[in-house]
C-alpha cells in the first residue's frame, strides 16, 4: 500500500505565525521570522542571504538554493523592517554568524524559530514533530496563498519549485484543517 504524502498538510494559521513573530527576542529574529513567513524561504536560503540580495526599490529578495535563483516579492512592511534592521550596513550577510564570514547556520535558525514559538505558546500541528521549525512557515505560506485562490504556478514560482507537479502534489491536496472542517460538517 502506497503511503500518502502528508508534506504540506500540517500548517500554522496566519494568527499563529503573527504570534510567533511578535514573540521574537530581538529585531534580527523578528526580521528572520518575517522573511520565513512572507517568502516561504528555506533555511539554506536564509543562511545565504546577503545585503545585495535585498532589492529595496522593487521590494524583493533574491533567494538561492539547490543551484537555482529566484526573486520573491516582499510586503512593504517587511522591506521597511529589513531596511531598519540593516541600518548603515551595505555588504555582508543579512543574518551574519558571529564570525561575520558566513550566515547563520541551519541549527541556529531552527533554535530561533523554536524559541519564538515556545514563547508564543504555539505548538507544531504535526504530531511527528516536536518543535515548530522553519519549513512549516513555507508550507503555511503556500497553503495560505492557495486558500486565497492564488494560482499554483505563482505559488510554484514563489517557492522555487522546479516543477508544477511538485507544487500540485504537495499543496493541491486538502490540508489537515480542510479535511477536519469537512469531516466535522458532515458528521456533526
Looking up cell 564570525, which residue turns up? 99
More reliable by pLDDT, 75 or 181: 75
pLDDT(69) > 70: yes
Write a three-state SS string for the chain: CCCCCCCCCCCCCHHHHHHHHHCCCCHHHHHHHHHHHHHCCCHHHHHHCEHHHEECCCCEEEEEECCEEEEEECCHHHHHHHHHHHCCCCCCECCECCCCCCECCHHHHHHHHHHHHHHHCCCCCCCCCCCCCHHHHHHHHHHHHHHCCCCHHHHHHHHCCCCHHHHHHHHCCCCHHHHHHHHHHHHC
CATH of domain 14-187: 1.10.443.10
Which are the contacts of 149, defined by CB distance < 8 A and separation ≥ 6? none
78-117 confidence digits (pLDDT tens): 999 999 999 999 999 999 998 878 899 999 999 999 999 9
In whole angstroms, what is the distance from residue 162 CA to residue 123 CA?
31
Domain definitions of the chain by residue range: 14-187
110-164 confidence digits (pLDDT tens): 999 999 999 999 999 988 888 999 999 988 998 898 888 888 888 888 888 776 6
Q: What is the pLDDT of residue 169?
A: 63
CB atoms within 10 A of CB 128: 7
The predicted model scores a pTM of 0.84
Amino acid at each position: 500500500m502506497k503511503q500518502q504524502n502528508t508534506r504540506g498538510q500540517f500548517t500554522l494559521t496566519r494568527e499563529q505565525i503573527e504570534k510567533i513573530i511578535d514573540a521574537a527576542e530581538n529585531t534580527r529574529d523578528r526580521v528572520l521570522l518575517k522573511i520565513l513567513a512572507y517568502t516561504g524561504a528555506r533555511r539554506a536560503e536564509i543562511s545565504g542571504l546577503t545585503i545585495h540580495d535585498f532589492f529595496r526599490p522593487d521590494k524583493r529578495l533574491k533567494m538561492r538554493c539547490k543551484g537555482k535563483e529566484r526573486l520573491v516579492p516582499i510586503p512593504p512592511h517587511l522591506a521597511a523592517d529589513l531596511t531598519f534592521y540593516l541600518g548603515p550596513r551595505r555588504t555582508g550577510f543579512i543574518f551574519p554568524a558571529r564570525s561575520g564570514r558566513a550566515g547563520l547556520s541551519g541549527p541556529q535558525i531552527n533554535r530561533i524559530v523554536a524559541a519564538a514559538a515556545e514563547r508564543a505558546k504555539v505548538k507544531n500541528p504535526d504530531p511527528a514533530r516536536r518543535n515548530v521549525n522553519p519549513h512549516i512557515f513555507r508550507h503555511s505560506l503556500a497553503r495560505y496563498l492557495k486558500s486565497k485562490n492564488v494560482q499554483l504556478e505563482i505559488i510554484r514560482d514563489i517557492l522555487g519549485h522546479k516543477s508544477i507537479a511538485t507544487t500540485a502534489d504537495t499543496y493541491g491536496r486538502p490540508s489537515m484543517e480542510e479535511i477536519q472542517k469537512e469531516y466535522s460538517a458532515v458528521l456533526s
